[in-house]
Amino acid sequence: MLNLFSTTSDESGFRLQYMEVFNWGTFTDRIFRIQPKGNNSLLTGANASGKSTFIDALLTLLVPAKKDRFYNQSSGVDKKGDRTEETYVLGNYAHIQRDGDLGTLTKSLRDKNTFSIILAHFNNLDGKKITLFQVRWFSGDELKRSFGIAKVPLNIEEDFSHFDQKGNWKKTLDKKYNSNSTKKKIEFMDGPIAYAERMADLFGMKST
């Protein structure tokens, strides 16, 4: 059984080396990165500085089934549903009461022409490397998602700057990492089930 605290390479689990987000919540228009380098870390900051937003991005990468997520857990908020994948992609940040109306107006940093990328890279003492990444964009009013796993380090600036809604970005990454390799270094999944199964297999997680 894998254990993050074991110092034996064949028993130790994977540790987070770095994580990046682009257009996720209030992290907008540029790439934001944290870099624990496999160390136990404490994420600190003022209220509303984005701590929960970053943790929710990691939760999204590791828990792909929406029904199993509870966003914004660290804030102690009991009400579920205030934060969703859609609100994070759009960058919703406030609800304004409209004059003479009982309804509210949601303020957002981005519109539905945007796209969002979250990515995290892990390795273990055996030198195995795994990068999880997810891309989200809108087609009309529908939020589209693409999931991927790579056995090499990826970063948003170098590997996703060519994103397009037609899917050519996948072909570019496939050519870059798989064309000269006998084994696939990068895999794409359009659904969360295949993504979760592959992730569990590569991380050595027990199936429940």
Give pLDDT, residue 78: 46
Task: Look up the pTM and report it.
Answer: 0.87
Better-scored residue on pLDDT, 184 or 105: 184
Averaged pLDDT, 66-73: 68
Q: Residue 119 pairs with which residues in a beta bridge?
A: 20, 133
Is the pLDDT score of 31 beyond 60? yes
Is the pLDDT score of 86 beyond 90? yes
> Which of 45-59, 88-102, 125-139 has the largest mean confidence?
125-139
Quickly list DSSP for 20-53.
EEEEETTEEEEEEEE--TTS-------TTSSHHH
| Residues 53 and 25: beta-carbon distance below 8 Å | yes
Q: What are the backbone dihedrals phi and psi of residue 57, each rounded to the nearest 5 degrees, phi first?
A: -65, -45
Question: Strand 92-97 relative to strand 104-108: parallel, antiparallel, unpaired?
Answer: antiparallel
Averaged pLDDT, 202-207: 79
Better-scored residue on pLDDT, 68 or 134: 134
**32: CB partners within 8 A, 6+ apart:** 20, 21, 22, 54
Q: Residue 104 pairs with which residues in a beta bridge?
A: 97
From the CB of residue 158, how many other CB atoms can be counted at a distance below 10 Å?
A: 10
The predicted-structure confidence for 117-128, as pLDDT tens digits, reads as follows 999 999 998 889
| Residues 79 and 71: beta-carbon distance below 8 Å | no
The predicted-structure confidence for 143-192, as pLDDT tens digits, reads as follows 999 999 999 999 999 999 999 999 999 999 999 999 988 899 999 998 89
Q: What are the backbone dihedrals phi and psi of residue 61, each rounded to the nearest 5 degrees, phi first?
A: -70, -35
Give pLDDT, residue 47: 83
Mean pLDDT taken over the chain: 87
Give pLDDT, residue 138: 97
Q: Which helix (H) or strand (E) holds 156?
A: helix 156-159
Pick from 13, 24, 21: nearest CA to 88: 24
Averaged pLDDT, 46-57: 88
